[in-house]
Amino acid sequence: MNIIYFLIGCSIVMALFFLAAFFWSLKNGQHDDMHTPAIRILFDDDKPEDNEN
């Protein structure tokens, strides 16, 4: 059962890693605008042959 000590340690380290990742994303401004990226992802890539108009 001693392996549980190790597993607990692992789980805490991993959880801390995710907390740090969240802090980083927050600092990076990823949570500032929750609306625009949702629209932006739906845009098509530009088609170069769209010229004849």
Partner 1 sequence: MPVHTFTLTPCYHCGTDCEENTFHADDKSFCCAGCLGVYRILNSNNLCNYYKYNSTPGQARSVKPQHFEYLDEQTIITQLVDFQDQELTVITFYIPSIHCSSCIWLLEHLHKLDKGVIGSRIDFLKKEVMITFRHAEISLRMLVELLTSISYEPMISLQDVIKQKKNSVNRNLIKKIAVAGFCMGNVMLFSFPEYLGMSVFDQGFKSLFSWLNLAFAIPVTFYSGRDFFISAYNGLKNKMFNLDTPLALIIAVLFLRTAFEVLTRTGPGFTDTLSGLVFLLLMGRWVKQRTYDHLSFERDYRSYFPVAVTVISDGREKPVSINELVVGDRILIRNNEIIPADSILMKGNGYIDFSFVTGESAPVDKVLGEIVYAGGRQLGEVIEMEVVKPVSQSYLTRLWNNDTFAATDNKIRNFNDSIAKYFSMVVFILAFGSAFYWIYLDNTDKAWAAFTAVLIVACPCVLALSTPFTLSAVLGIFDKNRFYLKNTDVVEQLARIDTMVFDKTGTISTPQELDLSFSEHLTAENKNLIASLARNSMHPLSREIIKWLRVSSYSEVSYFQEIPGKGISGFVNGRFVQLGSTLFINAAPDSDTNTSTVHITIDEKYAGYFGFKQQWRPGLKNLINNLKNRFNLHVISGDNENDRNDLSQIFSHQSSVNFAQSPQDKLEYIQNLQVSGSKVMMLGDGLNDAGALRQSDLGVAVTDNINNFTPGCDAILDGSSLNKLPQFIRQSKDALTTIKRSFIVAATYNLIGVFFAVQGILSPLTAAVLMPLSTITIITFTSVATRFYARRNQLI
Q: Which of 5, 6, 17, 28 binds partner 1 (CB under 8 A)?
A: 5
CB of 20 to partner 1, least distance (A): 10
Residue whose C-alpha is closest to residue 10's, from 24, 25, 18: 18
H or E element in which residue 8 lies? helix 3-27
CA distances from 19 to 30, 37, 51 (A): 15, 23, 49
CB of 21 to partner 1, least distance (A): 11
Binding site for partner 1 (CB under 8 A): 4-5, 8, 12, 15, 19, 22-23, 26-27, 31-33, 35-36, 39-40, 42-44, 46, 50-51, 53
